[in-house]
Structure 1
Amino acid sequence: MSTTENPIHFNSAAFNTSAARLSQCPEDMGAEVAFAGRSNAGKSSAINTLTNNSRLARTSKTPGRTQLINFFDLNVPGLRIVDLPGYGYAKVPIAMKEHWQKHLDAYLQKRACLRGVVLVMDIRHPMKEFDEMMVGWCETTGMPLHVLLTKADKLKKGPMQSTVLQVRKALRERLGDGVTVQAFSALKKAGVEQLQQRLSEWLLNDDEAEPAEDVITEA
């Protein structure tokens, strides 16, 4: 943070529980930040890079493998990061997708301790249908949004910067200062500090801290 050392140690993250529905979630107290994203966007890899733990969030070559809401406790009591189910390429029955949708919506609408959403997008394929749905939900509810454009190492610097600027411009027209956008690379561990700062601001509710710089990360 700007004036004192950040008390959150993200590498302390430890699995708490998995929930298939809202009633199975941990007690609705403290503060948590949720990661959402389409299957194949690199959400699990981003969480693992954030926490410096390659085994924390499940990664799989089979998209849509994660079907539960997974909660991870941080070293500060009552603070958590949450891994929401992935959507998109998952080869699962329509009924199961509808089940996920129903309980994801219940979590987003009713979870009082939710402080912000990190929306993970592949920088090469931003703003797909699921992304639009999540942005629309944040627009309606006023929930703070941080967009993580992953796999930035897959693009050269020019196209990477251009994509960040385009996504930022489009979203700020809708969400104003309620959204920040950054590039991120799990492979090169680029953008980790910026992500940690944004999460810390939300989780600690530090109104006096300077906002995380909305900059383009080198990847």
Structure 2
Amino acid sequence: MNRTIELVKTIYEIKQLESLDEPQIALAGRSNVGKSSLVNRLAGRKSLAKISSKPGKTRSLNYYRVNPDGFYLVDLPGYGYARCSQSEREKWGKLIEAYMTANPGLKAVVVLLDARLTPQKLDLELTSYLRGLGIPVIPVLTKSDKPKQRERAALQNQWKDILQQPRLPLLFSSKTGMGEDKLWNVLAEYAINAVPASPAETPDDTQEPLAD
């Protein structure tokens, strides 16, 4: 299937959020994990999502419409942006929380994880937060062309155990295209077929919002 991606909306404040009839898949991850590169690879364009040498460039919710499927990829601000003020981080945190907790159209969150790193504290906090909300997590190991196959496999199994999911995290490389077709299939599966959260992802009323 020939798909196209177009940026249709940018949200900076909670008051700009609105209900959408179309399903949404959010993209989340650390500031330098390669979210913009992933979007550009899926779009087949080099500059649809801006790539910066300074982590934390994305400071808004960017809505990308996927055609002809008719769902949205929503790029969230990266976390771990050390050069931003505490007030900015709190503002983005509240925006992300409002988007995730009052959005029946959100079908899953793709959590991008650096394939070169062992599980990081902020990544563990994010996945725990999402599972507590009952939101399905789609783990994707970015930059998977860099580690050796044995190292990738070990990290896949480690994250599989942490998330208590039957599937291994997807391997993806924006540089080589590794895993691109598989990722599209999974995105469509969750967006169109509405894959439910696993038993390990049931809501938890005591869950605290993700903190930077």
Equivalent position of 1:141 in the other structure: 133
* Percentage of pairs with the same residue: 30
Summarize deviations over 1:81-120 as a string: whole Å, max 9, x none.
1100011134111110111111111111111211110000
1:77–1:181 distance in 2 versus 1, CA, 3 Å: closer
Q: What is residue 74 of structure 1 aligned with on the other side?
A: 66
Structure 2 match to 1:44 = 36
Q: Deviations for 1:49-88, whole angstroms, at most 9, x for unmatched residues?
A: 1221221212110000110000011223741111000111
Normalised TM-score (structure 2): 0.85
CA contact 2:113–2:141 (8 Å) conserved in 1: yes
The Cα shift of 1:141 comes to 2.0
What residue in structure 2 maps to residue 58 of structure 1? 50
Unaligned stretches of 5+ residues in structure 1: 1-5, 208-219
- CA distance 1:180–1:51, shift in 2 (3 Å): farther
- Name the counterpart of 2:193: 205
Q: Which moved more, 1:52-61 or 1:198-207?
A: 198-207
Residue type of the partner of 1:72? Y
TM-score by length of 1: 0.82
Contact 1:37 1:87 in 2 (8 A): yes
Deviates more, 1:40-49 or 1:72-81: 72-81
- State the partner residue of 1:22: 14
| SS of residue in 2 equivalent to 1:13 | strand
Residue 122 of structure 2 corresponds to 130
1:86 matched to which residue of 2?
78
For residue 88 of structure 2, what is the amino acid of its counterpart?
A: M
C-alpha deviation, 1:180, in angstroms: 5.1
Equivalence for 2:96: 104
Say which SS state the counterpart of residue 154 (structure 2) adopts: helix
Any stretches of 5+ residues in structure 2 without a counterpart?
Answer: 196-212
Instruction: Spell out, residue by residue over 1:194-214, the C-alpha distance to the aligned partner (whole angstroms, 9 max, x if none).
Output: 10001001121267xxxxxxx
Range that drifts further, 141-150 or 24-33: 24-33
Aligned pairs for 1:134-213 within 5 A? 134-172=126-164, 176-177=165-166, 181-205=169-193
Do the aligned residues in 2 keep the contact of 1:146 with 1:180 (CA within 8 Å)?
no
Match of 2:207 in 1: none
Distance 1:77 1:50 in 2: 14
Deviation per residue, 1:22-52 (Å, 9 max, x gap) = 3313542210100000111111111111221
